[in-house]
Structure 1
Amino acid sequence: METSAGTFDPNQPGWQGLHLTPEAAAHIRDLAEQQSGFLGVRLGIKQTGCAGFGYVLETVTEPREDDLLFERDGARLWVPADAMPFIDGTEVDYVREGLNQIFKFNNPKAQHECGCGESFGV
C-alpha cells in the first residue's frame, strides 16, 4: 500500500485544489447556522479500510496553521496541507441516497475503492 503521494506546494503549477458543489456548500452553511462558533468543515484522510485511506470530516471552530481554505458561496472547507497530495482535484458533493444524506467525494486521485465505498487507494 502506498502511503505517500508526493508533497503539496500551492505555489507550484498543476495543483487543482478542492471544489464544493452548490449542494455541499449549502449544507455546510446550514451547519454553520445551527452551531455556535462553527466556521466550517475540515476534510482530512486517515489510513483505514481495505483500500488504504478513508475520508475524515470534522467541524472547525478554529483553523489549524497548516490548513488550506477552500470556499464557495460563504461555505468554508479546510484541508490539512499533508492531505492534499491524496485528494487534490476532489469534488465534494452532498447527496441524498434513499433516506440518507451524505457527503460524497469524487476524487480523481483514487485508483480504486473498496466495495463498500468507505475507503480508497492512490
Structure 2
Amino acid sequence: MTAQVNTVEPTARGRTLELTENARAHIAGQMQKHPDAAAFRIGVKMSGCSGYMYVVDVADAISAEDEVFDFQGTRVVVSRQALPVLSGTTVDFVKQGLNSMFRFHNPNAGASCGCGESFTTDTLVTE
C-alpha cells in the first residue's frame, strides 16, 4: 500500500529545511543513479558519543509518517519524529581535497563531539 504523498514547500507548516545549491545538485545526482527511488531521506538516529547522528540515504518508499519537501523538483523526506531536531537546518555539500560530505548547519544542535560525528540537542526523537 502506497501512502498518499503531500509534497510541501521547504518552509511549510513552520518546519523549515534548506538545501544549498551544492546539496541540491548532489542529491539530484544521487537520485539519477537510483531512478526507482521515491526520494532522498535526511534523518537522525541515536548514536555516537554525543547523542544523535545525521543519516542520509535514498528512500525506496515514502511513508505516511514522512514530511516530503520539494526543492526545485528534488524530493527530500524527513520523518515527522526527526523533524523537530532538523527543523531550521541548512544542509550543504562540500568538497575538501579528495573528500566530500554533507555538512549540517543545525540551530537545534547544542554541541557536537570532538570528532564531529554526533551532536546533542534538547529535543528527543522517538524513532
In the TM superposition, what is the alpha-carbon distance from 1:36 to its structure 2 partner?
2.5
The 3-state SS of whatever aligns with 2:81 is: helix
1:78 and 1:36 map into 2 onto residues whose CA distance is: 16
2:102 and 2:66 map into 1 onto residues whose CA distance is: 20
Q: Please provide the CA RMSD for this pair.
A: 1.4
Structure 1 runs (4+) deviating above 3 angstroms are none
- Greater Cα offset, 77-86 or 56-65: 56-65
User: Identity over aligned residues, as a percent?
Assistant: 38
1:67 matched residue in structure 2? 66
> Conserved in 2, the CA contact under 8 Å of 1:42 and 1:58?
yes
2:112 matched residue in structure 1? 113
Q: What is the TM-score when the length of structure 2 is the normalising length?
A: 0.80
1:25 matched residue in structure 2? 24
> Conserved in 2, the CA contact under 8 Å of 1:19 and 1:89?
yes
Structure 1 position 76 matched with structure 2 position 75: yes
Partner letter of residue 107 of structure 2?
P
Q: How many aligned residue pairs are there?
A: 110
1:100 matched residue in structure 2? 99
- Residue ranges of structure 2 left out of the alignment (5+ in a row): 1-11, 122-127
